[in-house]
Amino acid sequence: MLCPQRTVKVNTTNISVENIREFVARVPKTDLHVHLDGSLRLKTLIELARNSGVKLPSYTEEGLRKLVFKDRYADLGEYLKGFAYTCAVMNSTENIERVAYELAQDNLAENVRYIEVRFAPQLHVNQNLSLENIVSAVVRGLERARTEHNNSDSVKQGDDIPFEFGLILCAMRCFNPNMSGYYADLFRAMSYAPRNDIFAVASLELARAAVVLSHEKGLPVVGFDLAGEEAGYPAIVHRAAYQHAHRNFIRKTVHAGEAYGPESIFQAITECHANRIGHGTFLFAHDMIRDHEITDPRSYVEYLAEYIASQRITIEVCPTSNLQTIPALNDIGAHPVKEMIERNLSVTICTDNRLVSNTSVTREILRVIESIPVSLHQLRNLIVAGFKGSFFPHSYREKRAYVRGVLDHYEKLEHRLLSKED
């Protein structure tokens, strides 16, 4: 176990904590689960709010950390309150492009070399912003950072890894019509319909847009997601949207097992064709199973976990976010990521929301390996899983070459920083 101010024992090789931390900071990393509207720089949020006339509870970073973006939240509802402010300032293509550019810069600064930025463009649609305008603005911001990095001497000389990115469009499990002009118009047009039918229509429209933006417009839309309150809003409601994405070769991930049990994860895989699972926190919680037809919950969980492992369905684990929103989790040592690693599941460590959780990829990885005993091989798996499980926006052959370059760079740093100490 990696503990402060101690020499640690990993695979019979003594390695100092300082070297491990330097290694994690310098090694190429990924973030496959990062929400754009939850990852603004606090300084930028304040500036954009002033310029846009958006009222904040405080206009200082200290004040917002105390009142909105805390270390711990009472529940998921409180955690999500900050998005009302971040979404409000993302009200123009200029603001959205800037937020995307700064997110890429922040990732590049900590040696994250591949990100999949997810966001719900329907939240930002208004009379001046179309869905395509919004997605294009995100691409411009990320592409600007990508060009700057990939044109650097270090990349050209082979001393650094090129930066790549993809976009994941998020549908919402449920929403209030006041969340955006798009949702308000949809509620008016479908005032006769049950709420779940309205939610399903919105997600199907977004899935159709994802296909058009990817296949016809050539934008790097690599995935489709379903986010929002999980309990009471099953993924199966959005099956038509996922089926459309599936038929058109858009990769799929689903927020599942974050606030509900194993059945939610099973439904994401079987009904929504999920290639990856967002969070998956309650994968092993057999006591949360509610389906009376499941007569042996423990066996059900075993079969589900084995299926996920054998099919290499990557789980996007967001440790700090989970600790902030799930009262039963008191520390990372109690997080099911420990069992996921022990069972050799494909696990990638992610931030979820860099601002709301006040975190970074490096911090998340260190938090895990300083709380859970891991071997060098397991550490490698944790970091490389993000590259291998990515919805890479280029060909499979190019992805293999990219991952090979990452592995070469990883091995050089591993040899330099994690060699045996006397």
Q: Could you list the active site residues? A: 258
> Tokens in use for 323?
């600790």
Q: Contact 165/117 with Cβ under 8 angstroms?
A: yes
Find residue 303's DSSP bridge partners: none
Rounded Cα gap, residues 130 and 116, in angstroms: 22
Rounded Cα gap, residues 38 and 5, in angstroms: 33
How does strand 29-35 pair with strand 112-119?
parallel
Q: List CB contacts of 188: < 8 A, sequence separation 6 or more.
A: 177
DSSP for 246-300, written as a single string: HHTT-EEEEEESSSS-HHHHHHHHHHH--SEEEE-TTTT-GGG---TT-S-HHHH
Q: Contact 349/382 with Cβ under 8 angstroms?
A: yes
Residue 47 Cα distances to 61, 98, 99, 106, angstroms:
11, 12, 12, 18
Find residue 226's DSSP bridge partners: 171
DSSP for 331-399, written as a single string: SGGGSTHHHHHHTT--EEE--B-TTTTT--HHHHHHHHHTTS---HHHHHHHHHHHHHTS--SS-HHHH
> Edge-to-edge strands of the sheet including 347-349?
29-35, 112-119, 164-172, 221-227, 251-256, 276-279, 314-317, 347-349
